[in-house]
Structure 1
Amino acid sequence: MIKKLKEEDNAQLSEFLAEERSMNLFIIGDIEAFGYDTDFQELWGDFSESGKLRAVLLRYFEMFIPYAKGPFDVEGFGNIIKKCCSSPILSGKKEIAEQFEHMSGLNLGEKNETYFAELLSLSEIGTSDHSIKKATIEDIDRIIGLRSSIGEFKMGPNARDLLLKTFESKTGRTYYMEEEGRMIASASTTAESSNAAMIVAVCSLKEYRRQGFATAVMQRLICDMLAENKVLCLFYSNPKAGRIYKRLGFKDIGMWTMFR
């Protein structure tokens, strides 16, 4: 049985998500930040006949994340997604998200598989002499400009609105380097909760690559986050990037699949 989740379901849902806290970082962070009663976020639970929660589905704008620990009503969740959005972005733990891949009428986009890595300690983080700044809401257009120049990034039409929401809700932050007033490298967090955060959009301008600038920005971000006792997670698909992250102390904990 699938039903819409409300505040009174929070205790059961929190316990359900806690076993894989890092994998559920987006769901946990969005619940902490926005709760159960907004027009852009909804949650549904799939319950067994005995009333035990066995799966959850999050909608954040046009993005959907399912999570389960075993068999669940994939078709039921798929029907909810189809009713909510004609071209959804769906992502999640590889073995869960891929159950929706061939569902008729779901209209999923291109499939992208990435490694999911986690950082728990400060032991392997270096330091840098570069001047690293923390962005404010006034820097949003510069951040979007930098990201838009990166060929590997796919920028959706609502990218600026989502970044603005992140700044306003304090569910993410961005650190950057600049040269002569030009932003040349940056790294951001998203889905920040009380004890975890996801690192995203680590980048530098093409002409400034292989000079350690993005790594320096990452070092500052990581040090600040771990000082707040937050576990850090990130996705990567490029093995070269993976080696850099592992030198910083990240360890692979699974695979993440996105359709967009």
Structure 2
Amino acid sequence: MIRKLNEADREDLMELVGKNPAINLYIIGDVENFGFEQDFMELWGESDSVDGPLKAVILRFYGSYLPYSEGPFDAEGFAELLRRNKNAEMISGSLEVVRTLSKWLNIRQEKEMLFAELTEMNEEIRTAASAPVPIQKATTQDVDAICTLTDVISEFTSSPEDARKTLHKTLESGTGRTYFVEQNGEVIATASTAAENSRSAMIVAVATHPEYRGQKLASRVVAQLCADILAEGKSLCLFYNNPQAGLIYKKLGFRDIDKWSMTYLHKENQLTGAGI
């Protein structure tokens, strides 16, 4: 059976997702930071009975959904939740789980990436973080300058307005941090975290201005982020599909632990009931 979760389910939910805290970083972070009673966020869980332990869970955060299960789950039932929401846009999560759910939906596009984790400090991070490049920690006043850089990076698909809104909310809420390098009043390299929680953080939005590439600026910024977060007793995660970026992350000590999918939905899901 599938039911909507609330605060009374926190312990059972954390027991389930805590078995794989790296993959479940977003679920853990969103529950810790926002709880269960938010208009933009909902959670449903599957169990064999009303009082039985949770065996699968799915998070809605605005129009994005993130499922998790350790084994077989009611993919058709979870898909029905998405079909009821006319604003459902995307499913993300472990590739195997997302593809199981996607069979019941009308998919527009899938983006497959590698999911990597860093759990301890190493000499490469110490060396990169000690390079003589001044790193600044962003405040909400730096949002426009940082997004002016990401606006020109083709890999960043968010609209300028959405990018600024998202970064401002992340910095304001404390659910992530952003470091950057500035030259002549212009941000030339940046990296951020998202979904920070008591156990881990996700590295996101790594970018270097095209005119300043080849100077290891992104490595310097990412290394500083990693050093600071590891010093807080947390691990780091990231996903990537760029082999060159993968080499940089692996040099810093990240190791691949899973495959990650970002799967985009056709709006027809709400009209046709795909998969039925």
Q: CA RMSD in A?
A: 1.4
Which digits, 9 at most, give the CA deviation of each residue in 1:157-197, with x for residues without a partner? 63322222211210100000011000000000000001200
Distance 1:85 1:198 in 2: 28
Q: 1:148 aligns with which of 120, 127, 151?
A: 151
SS at 1:110's partner residue? Answer: strand
Q: 1:130 aligns with which of 128, 133, 138?
A: 133
* Structure 1 segment 187-226 matched on structure 2, within 5 A: 187-226=191-230
Could you tell me which residue of structure 2 aligns to residue 121 of structure 1?
A: 120
Could you tell me which residue of structure 2 aligns to residue 39 of structure 1?
A: 39
Which digits, 9 at most, give the CA deviation of each residue in 1:239-259, with x for residues without a partner? 111111111011111110001
* Structure 1 segment 171-186 matched on structure 2, within 5 A: 171-186=175-190
Q: 2:239 aligns with which of 232, 235, 238?
A: 235
* TM-score calculated relative to the size of structure 1: 0.95
In the alignment, residue 234 of structure 1 is paired with which amino acid? L
Which digits, 9 at most, give the CA deviation of each residue in 1:2-45, with x for residues without a partner? 11100010101101111111010000000000000011111000
SS at 1:117's partner residue? Answer: strand
SS at 2:68's partner residue? Answer: strand
Distance 1:176 1:203 in 2: 9
Distance 2:151 2:103 in 1: 31
Distance 1:239 1:214 in 2: 15
1:98 lines up with 2:99 in the alignment:
yes
- Give 5+ residue unaligned stretches, structure 1: none
In the alignment, residue 231 of structure 2 is paired with which amino acid? A
Distance 2:208 2:45 in 1: 40
The answer to whether the 8 Å contact 2:120/2:230 transfers is: yes
In the alignment, residue 229 of structure 2 is paired with which amino acid? M
In the alignment, residue 174 of structure 2 is paired with which amino acid? K
Q: 1:139 aligns with which of 133, 138, 142?
A: 142
Compared CA separation, residues 52 and 87, structure 1 to 2 (3 A): closer
Distance 2:102 2:254 in 1: 29
Distance 1:85 1:216 in 2: 42
The answer to whether the 8 Å contact 1:128/1:219 transfers is: no
The answer to whether the 8 Å contact 2:78/2:101 transfers is: no
Which digits, 9 at most, give the CA deviation of each residue in 1:98-141, with x for residues without a partner? 1233424x4x4421111100001111312211011000011111
- Give 5+ residue unaligned stretches, structure 2: 265-276
The answer to whether the 8 Å contact 2:44/2:58 transfers is: yes
Deviation at 1:79, TM superposition (A): 1.1
Distance 1:154 1:79 in 2: 28
Tell me the percent identity.
Answer: 46
1:255 lines up with 2:268 in the alignment:
no
The answer to whether the 8 Å contact 2:75/2:104 transfers is: no
Could you tell me which residue of structure 2 aligns to residue 16 of structure 1?
A: 16
Distance 2:108 2:140 in 1: 31
In the alignment, residue 243 of structure 1 is paired with which amino acid? L
* TM-score calculated relative to the size of structure 2: 0.90
In the alignment, residue 234 of structure 2 is paired with which amino acid? K
The answer to whether the 8 Å contact 1:93/1:255 transfers is: yes
Q: Work out the number of aligned pairs and report it.
A: 258
SS at 1:27's partner residue? Answer: helix
In the alignment, residue 118 of structure 1 is paired with which amino acid? E
Greater alpha carbon shift after TM alignment, 237-246 vs 47-56: 47-56
Could you tell me which residue of structure 2 aligns to residue 245 of structure 1?
A: 249
